A and B are shown apart, each in its own frame.
Chain A
Amino acid sequence: MTEPVIEAIDAVKFLGEGAGRVQALKGVSLAVGGGELTLLMGPSGSGKTTLLSILGCMLTPTSGTVRVGGRATADAGPEELAKIRRENIGFVFQSYHLFPTLNALDNVRLALDVRGENSHRAMQKSKEALARVGLALKMASYPSELSGGEQQRVAIARAIVSNPAILLADEPTAALDSENGHAIMEVLAEIAREQSRGVLVVTHDPRIVPFSDRIVSIEDGKIIGDKRPADGEARADKSGTAAAERTDKPSRKDRKRKP
Chain B
Amino acid sequence: MSLAPKLAFRNLFHDRLRLIATVIGIVFSIVLVTVQMGLYVSFERMVTVMIDHADADLWIVPRGTKCFEDPSLLDERERFRALSVAGVASAAPLVIGFAQWRTPSGGNTPIFMIGSDPRGAGLEPWNVVEGRADALAIPGAVAIDRSYFDRLETTRVGEYAEIGDQRVQVLAITNGIRSFTTTPYVFSSIERARAYTGTAANKASYFLVRVTPGANVMQVRDSLRARLPDTEVLTTAEFRERSANFWMFGTGAGFALFAGAMLGLIVGTVIVAQTLYSSTKDHLNEFATLRAIGSSGGYIHKVIIFQALLSALIGFCLASVIGWIVVLATADTALPVVITPLMTAALLVLTVLMCVVSAVAAIMKVTRIDPAMVFTR
Q: Do A and B bind each other?
A: yes
CB distance from B279 to the nearest CB of A (A): 12
Stretch of A38-46, A90-98, A186-194, A229-237 lying at the B interface: A90-98
- B-chain residues with CB within 8 Å of residue A89 when the two chains form the complex: 294
Q: Determine the distance from Cα of A87 to Cα of B11 in the docked complex, in whole angstroms.
A: 27
Which of B6, B290, B372 is close to A53, meaning CB atoms less than 8 Å apart? B372
B292 at the interface (CB under 8 A from A): yes
Known: A58-B372, A59-B372, A93-B375. A101 touches B14 (CB 8 A): yes
Q: Determine the distance from Cα of A153 to Cα of B325 in the docked complex, in whole angstroms.
A: 53
Which of B2, B292, B299 is close to A58, meaning CB atoms less than 8 Å apart? B292
B71 at the interface (CB under 8 A from A): no
Interface residues of A in 22-55 (CB under 8 A from B): 49, 52-53
Contacting pair A99 B375 (CB below 8 A):
no
Contacting pair A85 B376 (CB below 8 A):
no
A195 at the interface (CB under 8 A from B): no
Which of A56, A90, A97 is close to B285, meaning CB atoms less than 8 Å apart? A97
A219 at the interface (CB under 8 A from B): no
Known: A93-B375, A170-B375. A99 touches B1 (CB 8 A): no
Contacting pair B2 A113 (CB below 8 A):
yes
B286 at the interface (CB under 8 A from A): yes
Residues of A in contact with B, size category: 35 or more
Q: Which residue of A lies closest to B14 (CB)?
A: A101
Contacting pair A95 B4 (CB below 8 A):
no
- B-chain residues with CB within 8 Å of residue A162 when the two chains form the complex: 294
Contacting pair B293 A101 (CB below 8 A):
no
- B-chain residues with CB within 8 Å of residue A138 when the two chains form the complex: none
A79 at the interface (CB under 8 A from B): yes
Q: Determine the distance from Cα of A83 to Cα of B371 in the docked complex, in whole angstroms.
A: 13
CB distance from A170 to the nearest CB of B (A): 5
B176 at the interface (CB under 8 A from A): no
Residues of B in contact with A, size category: 20 to 34
Interface residues of A in 157-185 (CB under 8 A from B): 158-159, 162, 170
* Contact pattern, B 270-297, Cβ under 8 Å of A = 1, otherwise 0: 0000000000000001100111111111
CB distance from B298 to the nearest CB of A (A): 9
Q: Determine the distance from Cα of A97 to Cα of B371 in the docked complex, in whole angstroms.
A: 12
A19 at the interface (CB under 8 A from B): no
B377 at the interface (CB under 8 A from A): yes
Interface residues of A in 99-156 (CB under 8 A from B): 99-102, 106, 109-111, 113-115, 118
B345 at the interface (CB under 8 A from A): no
Q: Which residue of B lies closest to A111 (CB)?
A: B293
Contacting pair B296 A83 (CB below 8 A):
yes
Contacting pair B377 A95 (CB below 8 A):
yes
Contacting pair A102 B3 (CB below 8 A):
yes
CB distance from B310 to the nearest CB of A (A): 14
Which of B297, B372, B375, B376 is close to A82, meaning CB atoms less than 8 Å apart? B297
Known: A52-B375, A58-B375, A106-B3. A99 touches B293 (CB 8 A): no
B interface, over-half SS: helix
- A-chain residues with CB within 8 Å of residue B7 when the two chains form the complex: 99, 101-102, 110
B10 at the interface (CB under 8 A from A): yes
CB distance from A14 to the nearest CB of B (A): 14
CB distance from B54 to the nearest CB of A (A): 62
Contacting pair B3 A83 (CB below 8 A):
no
CB distance from B288 to the nearest CB of A (A): 8
Known: A101-B14, A109-B3, A118-B1. A49 touches B295 (CB 8 A): no
Q: Determine the distance from Cα of A208 to Cα of B339 in the docked complex, in whole angstroms.
A: 70
Contacting pair A91 B292 (CB below 8 A):
yes
Interface residues of B in 1-35 (CB under 8 A from A): 1-4, 6-7, 10-11, 14
Q: Which residue of B lies closest to A88 (CB)?
A: B294
A86 at the interface (CB under 8 A from B): yes
Which of A82, A90, A102, A118 is close to B295, meaning CB atoms less than 8 Å apart? A82
CB distance from B312 to the nearest CB of A (A): 20
Q: Determine the distance from Cα of A102 to Cα of B374 in the docked complex, in whole angstroms.
A: 18
A–B Cβ pairs within 8 angstroms, 17 of them: A53-B375, A58-B372, A58-B374, A58-B375, A83-B296, A85-B294, A86-B293, A91-B292, A97-B374, A101-B10, A102-B6, A111-B293, A113-B3, A113-B299, A114-B293, A114-B294, A158-B293
Instruction: Enumerate the 5 nearest inter-chain pairs by beta-carbon distance, A residue then B residue, closest first.
Output: A86-B294, A101-B10, A114-B295, A85-B294, A58-B372
